[in-house]
Structure 1
């Protein structure tokens, strides 16, 4: 096993734990944008973590159904984080412009449906649309595992798959810039606004959400552009027909790592793709796992755990003291 593979497995395992630590606070606050971020980053990191363990140094196909699922999930993951960043930036913009601080139950449901439509619906839609340009079932790459197959058709591949991360990233960037602009305009009264009865944010949390979304945009746009370029640099095959694209659809290609490394940019693209998810988990933890509310939560958990561990001991000690009373029996 190479040092790169060991590092990926170890760091992915740590990342899976780290991203779950801030989950209780975000769940109680019902921050659906960050909950979707946690869900996508965790599921993607877990998928690549399992694939790295199972397919290290081999090209077998022990779990075809798992490969079907993980290859399709990989397509959604390419869109999911830009979509979730859009959800977060949109919410921050609405708060900064005083549009959704006071929400009725109906308005809250409406905003939640929009968040899920963007952060969950669009990635699922891309996974469904991917079938149109899916040349065969999946590929298995040594050390990486199951990856999706794309039929590079100029008339369908770009609008159905490649354009979505770039489009979502650009829209998210616009919302982020407008949110920051609105925040700077009313920063003196912003603390009062966020401390309103129906808001679960304060200025610190707001700025951390903005920093998270901004960092995602800064990383996602170049990454999406590079992946699109890597897919298009070798040219696009013309679209012939549905039957031509899906001919021998059940085939599975087995690609040794050494062979893929000979293709310019191919191994680099795969490496960036699978490292992006653990890094997203660690990034989220750095913004929220070390925050004041998270540290307070950790302290409460530790205190309760210590109390539970000492409870049997304290009860036993009390019984001994009482039993040694002059009366010689337990009161």
Structure 2
């Protein structure tokens, strides 16, 4: 359940964050809650949601794999640790690296609230923009493999799922598969499009200089 739990946590956090941002800054862009902005721009929720879906897709692919074995308690603990590190640890680490290419402490936009800022540079590309597509494409590949196995073994699929002893029923497996695949079918094109758009619209890239970037940094 670690993947779905992580996904649920991210959905709740991001919806709450967007609600607060809209309520506080629905009519202006005054800097009335700087600490809140520091927190909200460091969530990394866009990557976190994709990482959670990636973990769900990976889990389902492992169940239908011909190399699958009975899942033990230790396997569940290892999978939970892996899923939570991927879903929360990686996004928080990515956002912790934001200080490397951050152009301002944060930006505030009317109707949207707190936004992160960044200089167009190679650290921005490597430390920020590539990770959404990485998780999206990885999840799509796992989902494609799961779908292939589902079609190939459709007549005895319930036995394949039961053989992993994962506590998943066939119906629950199919619901999780439908959730991850439907999200990825929407998320992959949008993620790739937004990444390409960010790169294309950012203009000329700067040669990275910590001193230069910090010289323009202000709240």
TM > 0.5: yes
User: Whose RCO is larger (CA < 8 A, sep 6+)?
Assistant: 2
**Which runs of 5 or more residues in structure 1 are unaligned?**
1-30, 252-331
Q: CA RMSD in A?
A: 1.9
Secondary structure of the residue that 1:249 maps to in structure 2? coil
**What are the residue-to-residue correspondences of 1:125-274 with 2, within 5 Å?**
125-153=93-121, 155-195=122-162, 198-234=165-201, 235-251=203-219
The answer on whether the counterparts of 1:135 and 1:247 sit within 8 Å (CA) in structure 2 is: no
Counterpart mapping for 1:79-94 below 5 A: 79-94=47-62
* TM-aligned CA deviation for residue 102 of structure 1: 2.1
Give me the whole-angstrom Cα distance separating, in 1, the residues matched to 2:163 and 2:63.
11
Q: Is the 8 A contact 1:176 1:210 kept in 2?
A: yes
| Alpha-carbon offset, residue 100 of structure 1 | 5.4
2:10 is matched with 40
Tell me how far apart the structure 1 counterparts of residues 215 and 120 of structure 2 sit (CA, whole Å). 14
Q: For the residues of structure 1 that align with 2:85 and 2:28, how far apart are their CA atoms?
A: 39
Q: Deviations over 1:99-125 (max 9, x none)?
A: 556222222211112212222222112
Offset of 1:250 from its aligned partner? 3.0
- Higher gyration radius (CA): 1
**What is the number of equivalent residue pairs in this alignment?**
218
Q: Is the 8 A contact 2:42 2:92 kept in 1?
A: no
Query: Structure 1 residues 237 and 197, CA, compared in 2 at 3 Å: closer, same or farther?
Result: closer
Q: Report the TM-score when normalising by structure 1.
A: 0.62
Instruction: Say which of 104, 117, 120 aligns to 2:88.
Output: 120
What 5-or-longer segments of structure 2 have no aligned partner? none
